[in-house]
Chain A
Amino acid sequence: MHIGSPEELTQKQQELEQQRAAVSTRVRVCTGGGCLASGAHKIRAALESELSGVDGHVHIVETGCMGPCSAGPVIAVDPDGTFYEGVTPEDAAEIAKSHLLGGAPVERLLHRNLASGSVAETETDVDFFQQQHKVVLRNCGRINPCSISDYIAVGGYSALAKALASQTGEQIIETVKAAGLRGRGGAGFPSWLKWRFTRDAESEEKYVLCNADEGDPGAFMDRSVLEGDPHSVVEGMAIAAYAVGAQQGYVYCRAEYPIAVSRLSQAITQAREAGLLGDNILGTGFSFDLDIRKGSGAFVCGEETALIHSIEGKRGEPTPRPPFPAQSGVWGKPTLLNNVETYANVSAIVGDGADTYARVGTEDSKGTKVFALAGAVRNTGLVEVPIGTTLGELIYDIGGGITNDKPFKAAQIGGPSGGCVPKQHLNVPLDYASLEELGAIMGSGGLIVMDDGTCMVDVARFFLEFVQEESCGKCTPCRVGTKRMLEILDRICEGRGEYEDIDQLIELGTQIKDTALCGLGQTAPNPVLSTIRHFRDEYEEHIRDKHCAAGICPSLVRAPCQSACPAGVDVPGFVSLVGEKRYAEALRLHRERNPFAAVCARVCFHTCEEKCRRQTLDSPVAIRAIKRHMVDQEVVVQLPEVRENSENAARKVAIVGAGPAGLSCAYFLARLGYRPQVFEAMPRPGGMLVQAIPAYRLPRETLAREIRMIENLGVRIHTETRLGRDITLSTLREQGYDAVFLGLGAPGNTPLNVPGSDGEDVVPAGDFLRQYNVRGSVPVGDRVLVVGGGNAAIDAARTALRLGSHVTIIYRRTRDQMPAYAEEIEEAISEGVELMPLTQPTEIVRNSDGTMRSVRCVELSLGEFDRSGRRRPTSRKSEPFELEADQVIVAIGQRLDADEILEDATVKRDDDGFLRADPVTGQTADPWIFSGGDSVLGPASVVEAIAAGERAAYGIDLHLTGENHAFWRKDTQVNTHFDPDAEPLPYERESIETISVDRRRHNFSEVELPWSEAIAVRQAQRCLRCDYGKSPVKEDVHA
């Protein structure tokens, strides 16, 4: 094919378009990088063999990347655009028979939309595509990238023809200016300005370069464009060459992309043969030719001056600018350099006009941006959205949310030059200025989603290590400065960091930004600076507590489960002891860090399981259920080491509140030889464990047994002794107490402020549960409405249900967003509790006699993201509706009203009234007062309260003796048998049996049933023993 004039091109285009339209059925097989690796060629072969010998009305084409890489291999069938995902060769054969020959689409392979659950019949119905707007990727996944005919058929090269036939270079530059195109390589420099400078530079010889050295880890936009639509880049470069007056171009492509190189070189050959490259293009007298230069694995060559040197055959070292490439580029000649995506935009801008292009985007940033979505997100892949789309929309609407419904933590945008955007900023529009304000950059478009399993200090270290390795070494700030920064970060990750390190990182980083020679060095500190800005607490945690909450930093993490446990229980230790039926030792090991083994075996929310590494293999070890089996074997109470100490016994320590925090504090103090006195307002000790958590979750005898164990250590509990009534801080002081621990909990309730809510039939969940659990009876309605989504709401609902009520829970967010534990919600529903998410009460409607008739509610919908990273419920203009009810239980928040009891103590409090205490020692601003648990954290979990009690015990002892005696914090290696070379045992995770709903709905019997020993032992043996050979990791973290 040779095309001699613009007219001939038009003619050819019409011809090819007709030919294309004549194909009745076209099957597009995605051969993007992801689908190719998942076997796209086999799919094609299977389709072909199935269709061989059948009339040729089905045309099979291999296309570039369609986008949804995680759903691959994907194929689409035209004309209707049926979209199949996860296709195997066997599936392909079925598609051929059933759909292509039989006309019946194969439903099971269609995409199912996550939010609605509906089946997407065609490509346009797929949620992943719905908010996308494709300009750069207009042909990607639609045409055969290896065919110039396909490209011409869809209008390819017509923009070049239009430019050559009817426009001057000036006019083209004006068009690019009017379109508002900015460089898509990262910095966002206005493209037209570069073009103007190059055009204005005086020289016979000029060059046009394309930067395809897509080195940012996590970015694959340019690769996909080159592999999926290489002609669009060739065309864009030819237009640019015409506009600036260049005769020769080079595409500098990294060697890691062999397919991109081969498809692009094929495209160049085809374009030459067609007369669209080379001498006298389209007979217009304009000549331009194009060559490829392959990179050789040097990241710095993405920097423009370095790239130019590499093309010249030299070491790819940057040089200072000015002179800019527009004045002096390749071989000292004026040179225009843009990246792949920028050029792919050019043909669309010149072809469709600047107005059409500028219709999408924001005021300052026009058009679209391609992002490579990767990391912990459901739908990974290649997406193109209007500039200004929010990060939340990209991750949740297009990306489908976080894998395994884990919490979103941050998005890393812009690779080693960019930064991290935390969950508070999910509403940030993806445009150049907004991202820069947050310390990130638009960058080339790599966007890595991170969940709570990512350590931000480790991420910063990772990028710095990368930059340090890739630094060319020419300038000192980059070569030495990043090395020094890396050393500091290494130190922090290894637990040897100091407080000054953070400031030093900021200072060094700022200096490097100001003084490095090229873009690589100037942006290298960004990942560190942005993580310090948004995640400073995580750095501090590494430095102060020597703790990595994500369970990543090897020196700080013995096993991820142990790191995830707020109390730091040696999980692999006790689990492996259970695996050898050594229950007494297992219990003692558990109680080294947490006295409430039996309580936690029932009610713990087990963050340990969420971090368990076994889930990368199949599913996490059932740690809580194994613990349940362990505690059920306890005949004689098992206590760990207790150190008698007569000096400590003489010191007086008061503990106010016999909840998990207070009792844990007392337990650890007693192990140091103290004889703490515990004061409890209620008739029974246990705090929330006895007042709020119902007996069907935690049998009272189980709790009483562990409290008795603590009492037997010399802890004295005075019940019905209320602070503020029977004792005060001043009387304690007068009685000679040296220290006091306030474990007050969060007993106050946030009221429901709607009309009609001030009756006795509107009760706080805390009061309702306390009254039933402590007194044994509580007034309950026939139709109870529980408002709220936390554990208190679920406990109240299941209690009311057991007392014979019909119960409905209304919650203003979705079920996924309920803070209550998922398994509790599930049990409640199976027992017959009704759940109405996205519902908000607006009024309690009363009869004329004042009794409750109903609750008026409105339906809510989810709007934009709030600072917690969740979508904010907003009221839709829907009709209010009424729910019949005669009692409302309110569980929408807890508070602490400590004004009176604190008297003149100088304890500081936060905005919600909770006490401020040192995270390491629990000490408040008043040195003799310590606190922890819900009264500091707000409503938290049992195990967090236990951990806070332990820290306060350490803090009180430190305060009184000036030394650290927390001997239980030293890790020891258990002597259980383990063969590190053996394959992991293949057993699946076993679920916990529960008694049937009929047998539990009207009583308070414990719901969960224990395992048999055979099951428990086998489950314990599933542990991968991440702790093996790694003990002791830390001698004593606070020594």
Chain B
Amino acid sequence: MSTETQPTEADFTVENLDRIIDAHLDEAGALIPVLQEVQESVGYLPEDALKHISHRLEVPYSEVAGVVSFYSFFSTIPRGRHTVRACLGTACYVRGGKEVLESLKRNLGIEVGGTTEDRMFSLDVGRCFGACGLAPVVVVDETVHQQVKPSRVAELLAPYREEEA
């Protein structure tokens, strides 16, 4: 499991943004890579950050917002420290992914797209992580948990909860 500290809003500084933007300034089609790195560093894409990026890359804000809303990985609201994604790709779906998702929803007490009150977990649906051989899978951050049984969801989440405690 990753022991890296998760990003916080404190990482959202103008210096930080400029550092990322400067590295891509001469690149054609730099907008998406910049957005990806900012989201990775801050955890989400605050409106102020988007305005700053628009200004520095000389891309109209409407276009920046258009791109952000188009791609499902970009989020303009804060996310939990851990992203839990239940795969509903074909293999996982036919091997009981739906039941796993239901169990996760119950355990976390949130719906898909939601974040727990303590901002520990966000819940998403994934459409295939290429681990179909071991379906159904749940991906927490970048760790793949395979052959998850709906009844064992609590055990799967326990280490993440303990790590925070």
Contact = CB atoms under 8 A, between A and B. Distances in A.
Nearest to B132: A374
Interface stretch (B7-15, B113-121, B122-130, B155-163): B122-130
B144 interface: yes
Given A258-B142, A415-B90, A380 B133 contact: yes
A656 interface: no
A513 interface: no
Contacts of A219: 128, 130, 132
Interface stretch (A31-39, A479-487, A739-747, A1006-1014): A31-39
Contacts of B94: 375-376, 448, 450, 454, 459
A376 B91 CA distance: 9
A312 B28 contact: yes
Contact of B144 (A33, A70, A217, A472): A33
Contacts of B95: 375-376
A843 interface: no
A742 B146 CA distance: 53
B153 interface: no
A597 interface: no
Interface string B69-113: 011111000000000000011111111100000000000000000
Nearest to A310: B32
A38 B146 contact: yes
A311 B73 contact: no
B33 A293 contact: yes
With most chain A CB atoms within 10 A of its CB, the pick from B28, B29, B67 is B29
Nearest to B149: A616
B131 interface: yes
B30 A374 contact: no
A70 B71 contact: no
Contacts of A374: 90-91, 132-133, 135
Interface string A241-270: 000000000000001111000000000000
Contacts of B143: 37
A446 B92 CA distance: 13
B36 interface: yes
B3 interface: no
Interface stretch (A188-196, A295-303, A714-722): A295-303
Interface string A460-484: 0011001000101000000000000
B36 A217 contact: no
Given A215-B128, A311-B29, A36 B144 contact: yes
With most chain A CB atoms within 10 A of its CB, the pick from B70, B135, B137 is B70
Interface residues of A, number: 60
Interface in A682-731: none
Interface in A628-665: none
Contacts of B132: 217-220, 372, 374-375, 380, 446, 448
A215 B73 CA distance: 14
A34 B91 CA distance: 14
A296 B134 contact: no
Nearest 3 CB-CB pairs, A to B? A69-B133, A217-B89, A220-B130
B129 to A, nearest CB: 5
A22 interface: no
A47 to B, nearest CB: 22
B21 interface: no
A255 B142 CA distance: 11
Given A412-B90, A415-B90, A313 B133 contact: no
A499 interface: no
Contact of B91 (A297, A316, A448, A463): A448
B145 interface: yes
B74 A296 contact: yes
B129 A256 contact: yes
A316 B66 CA distance: 10
Contact of B90 (A38, A218, A381): A218
Interface in A376-392: 376, 380-382
A459 B95 CA distance: 12
A26 interface: no
Given A72-B134, A448-B91, 8 more contacts: A33-B144, A217-B93, A218-B89, A218-B91, A295-B71, A372-B133, A380-B135, A381-B133
A617 B96 CA distance: 12
Nearest to B106: A981
Contacts of A406: none
Contact of B146 (A37, A216, A218, A984): A37
Contacts of A218: 89-91, 128, 132
Contacts of B66: 315
Contacts of B146: 34, 37-38
B67 to A, nearest CB: 6
B5 interface: no
Given A36-B144, A984-B151, A296 B128 contact: no
12 contacts: A37-B143, A70-B134, A217-B92, A218-B90, A297-B73, A313-B29, A314-B63, A375-B94, A380-B132, A446-B90, A448-B132, A470-B127
Contacts of B88: 217, 462
Interface of B: 28-33, 35-36, 59, 63, 66-67, 70-74, 88-96, 126-135, 137, 142-146, 149-151
B67 A313 contact: yes
Contacts of A881: none
A34 B71 CA distance: 27
B81 to A, nearest CB: 18
A294 interface: yes
A683 B70 CA distance: 77
Given A70-B133, A218-B90, A297 B71 contact: yes
A293 B37 CA distance: 12
A217 B32 contact: no
Contacts of A616: 96, 149-150
Contact of B126 (A256, A295, A381): A256
A415 B130 CA distance: 13
Contacts of A859: none
B2 to A, nearest CB: 11
Contact of A217 (B63, B70, B91, B145): B91
Contacts of A256: 126, 128-130
Nearest to B134: A34
A312 B127 contact: no
Contacts of A412: 90
A1029 to B, nearest CB: 14
Contacts of B33: 293-294
Given A255-B73, A296-B71, A313-B30, A214 B130 contact: yes
Given A34-B134, A412-B90, A216 B128 contact: yes
A182 interface: no
A38 B133 CA distance: 12
Contacts of B71: 295-298, 316
A331 interface: yes
Nearest to B36: A294
A590 interface: no
A108 B59 CA distance: 63
A470 to B, nearest CB: 8
A223 interface: yes
A939 B142 CA distance: 54
Contacts of A258: 142
B124 to A, nearest CB: 10
Nearest to B124: A297
Interface in A304-326: 310-317
B127 A220 contact: no
Contacts of A298: 70-72
A574 B133 CA distance: 38
A217 B91 CA distance: 7
A459 B89 CA distance: 11
Interface in A564-618: 616-617
Contact of B131 (A37, A313, A375): A37
B73 A296 contact: yes
A37 B129 CA distance: 12
B127 to A, nearest CB: 5
Contact of A375 (B29, B91, B129, B130): B91
